[in-house]
Structure 1
């Protein structure tokens, strides 16, 4: 299958004028230093719906309206339906509002609350079915037939992919990039991006990034044949796709130069890095491009200009809190200790006085007499401490050793 014709992408961009927010490429010096290249961020996480998906969804509904007017059909007016892990859902829901038609959205049961509530707030009917996108997709197709609704595919649709490709047109007008790094799950975004670049800037390398826990697309790309997964599990829910679509896969083979994968820890570290260093809230799927750069998955050098697409920012606050907490422990800004004390008045106070002198701040403490490993008359103290880095951590541990405490670090 050929790549998407550049005229379709240019027409999509024209339809999107005044609908999507245009955020220029932003040079990221800290990421550039870490990645050993000149890195520019495309901040699609700042779109109205929190992700790039509004582009493809709006373009698809706009073409349905044009077709209805041209052919006298009723595809849009009857209502639309889609399956989505969240971002496409909000794009379809918002676009349906714009075109004054109803939208039914089928989402996996584990979809983050932020994405579910955001979709409902745009007037859509939300149906939670399945453990992943593919199970939701099967149910959505069934509902489409039962309710006579037009199905809007999140990635295996030419007009949807053309809408996503409008991102590339914006990027090309601002910078001549050597490499563009793109999150890849279902493949709609990277197909649109690759189609635009191969038509207008064929020297630019297009690199896709899969999550290790949902790597069907990358494994298929390397093998040059479709290799679906049995299951998916990743914090990058926006690219947690189990099965590879044949039509999209052919376009990826035609336009993508390489694909790499990142694991859960690498994704989490990229989310935290973007939050701290760039002041950007980015979801797991949106952070995989930066994760690939920070963890040196590509062969880069300082002369190369690299575009990294931050595809979405709709991260659940519970997940964000978990990532921040784990990040604080990994970067030695927090630590957890178990300390054995004699269970008598003043023992805990003596311990806290020592920690005060060494400058450690106690943020959580638990007092437990029940562990069977303890001798009678002892108590186990579990505490979380705020510390100031590796050297400070070593000073805390050294101080406890000098005072003769029995303790262990909880990791």
Structure 2
């Protein structure tokens, strides 16, 4: 953002009136701005949390949905509204329509978790399951609009929706009129940050507005960097509430003028932020809802900030219970309280004891080993840390100085998601093995579809799957594919259409499974 302050204020004014006159409080409540005492003490700054998890649908989304729907003409109301959504926007549209006595149809991907489908139906809307992705659901919604004349309620790229979300900033500045360093906002399509940034820059241009996205779904960050909207080839699905391939057109325009910067955070950093929010509120935020806190922590560390006041929006708390297992596993890594690494030690009596002595008095959280040969043993180790990344680097270098070959796995996705939960090891019979990591649609028949495309030409030599309660399952597959079949393998993968990464050269595979 390069606009001078007075130009920021002027360009934001058209939205100021829309936000001040937005109709949201028929369904939404003014949420509190709470101090996070534990995190504030730890970071040496005053951290405030805007509690949108306390809305009736546990998310900010109903603000924008209602502000759009309440302004429809009588004729449009009679025909009803439609939305395409797998999550919080769907519930916001459903609640608003029920409050106004309007028919609502929500098209949701068939992969949507049952808890979200049930929530939409409980609010009185008709839920239609169609396709595997948001794009499929959106296309079907457009077909229904042609047929029935419904009004489409966009999840983010609509001025009335943007203005509804901007009421969060209106409340925040009224609740905290004192100096404020920055406001941190989660970003998917950009509706929330567009509305909040426009309001803040119209009245308090001195306050920095910072968007936060996952590393694997940076649609707004990429758009601002390239100065045009981009379509991402794929997006990560852990923070499903912001898994958007392209920022909205109006959202990008507003962000370009009023957002100071975008920060990207990892899955582990998001999980650590979920834990921070729980420690201070006893609320389990959804991954997208915790992005702002993850961004605050990263910003404080980068800037060396002390005694400043920072605010973040807890944008939602619609998390599936099944996902908590994954969050708790990754939170320690996100807080840099655990190191994962592979070590090679001599295969002889006393080696393990000597290795443990080299680690020192740190607690060992994990130790996996399988006999490989008579000369060397490869072990997978988890170690508790109290000094964060500095201690991790010091520990690993100390082990290397003592003669142990070490592979740092703390940022290795295969190690964190799969290997630490697998039983097995090397196989002398798995010749020509190629390993891929997949995201399978979480629905009956996904595995059979994989096998049907594959046929009977190649043997599956490794298979590991874990369900994290998301729309996609995470799968590690080894296949024995002769060299002359590589072209056919690529054709098979294209026809299959599942998101995948080859992991044959991953050091985790080479050390423990290959």
The reply to whether TM is greater than 0.5 is yes
**Structure 2 residue 6 is the aligned partner of structure 1 residue 5:** no
8 Å CA contact 2:189, 2:220 repeated in 1: yes
Distance 2:32 2:78 in 1: 35
Write the mapping of 1:93-132 to structure 2, written as runs, cut at 5 A: 93-132=94-133
Distance 1:293 1:143, change over 3 A: same
Deviations 1:290-316 (A, max 9, x none): 111223476362242211001000011
Distance 1:388 1:207 in 2: 32
Write the mapping of 1:92-171 to structure 2, written as runs, cut at 5 A: 92-171=93-172
8 Å CA contact 1:217, 1:244 repeated in 2: yes
**Partner in structure 2 of residue 304 of structure 1:** 308
Distance 2:145 2:39 in 1: 44
8 Å CA contact 1:187, 1:248 repeated in 2: yes
Distance 1:262 1:26, change over 3 A: same
1:281 CA displacement: 1.5
1:75 CA displacement: 0.5
Write the mapping of 1:160-309 to structure 2, written as runs, cut at 5 A: 160-175=161-176, 176=178, 177-296=180-299, 299=303, 301-309=305-313
1:166 CA displacement: 0.6
1:112 CA displacement: 3.4
**Partner in structure 2 of residue 86 of structure 1:** 87
Distance 2:144 2:216 in 1: 29
More relative contact order, 1 or 2 (CA 8 Å, 6+ apart): 1
Distance 2:20 2:316 in 1: 23
1:132 CA displacement: 3.8
8 Å CA contact 2:27, 2:96 repeated in 1: no
Q: Flag structure 2 segments of 5+ consecutive residues without an equivalent.
A: 1-9, 339-362, 364-369, 375-381, 387-414, 421-514
Distance 1:328 1:230 in 2: 30
Out of 1, 25, 28, which is 1:17 matched to? 25
Deviations 1:221-280 (A, max 9, x none): 122122210111131111110122222211111111111111111112211222234312
8 Å CA contact 1:110, 1:131 repeated in 2: yes
SS class of match (2:197): helix
Distance 1:276 1:220 in 2: 35
Moved over 6 A (4+): 371-375, 387-390
Cα RMSD after superposing both structures: 3.9
1:110 CA displacement: 3.3
Distance 2:197 2:96 in 1: 25
1:131 CA displacement: 4.1
8 Å CA contact 2:158, 2:250 repeated in 1: no
SS class of match (1:228): coil
Out of 29, 44, 51, which is 2:37 matched to? 29
Q: Flag structure 1 segments of 5+ consecutive residues without an equivalent.
A: 69-73, 333-359, 361-370, 376-384, 391-408
8 Å CA contact 1:37, 1:300 repeated in 2: no
8 Å CA contact 1:270, 1:287 repeated in 2: yes
1:173 CA displacement: 0.7
**Structure 2 residue 332 is the aligned partner of structure 1 residue 322:** no
Distance 2:191 2:329 in 1: 33
Distance 1:267 1:163 in 2: 26
Write the mapping of 1:26-65 to structure 2, written as runs, cut at 5 A: 26-64=34-72
SS class of match (2:71): helix
SS class of match (1:283): coil
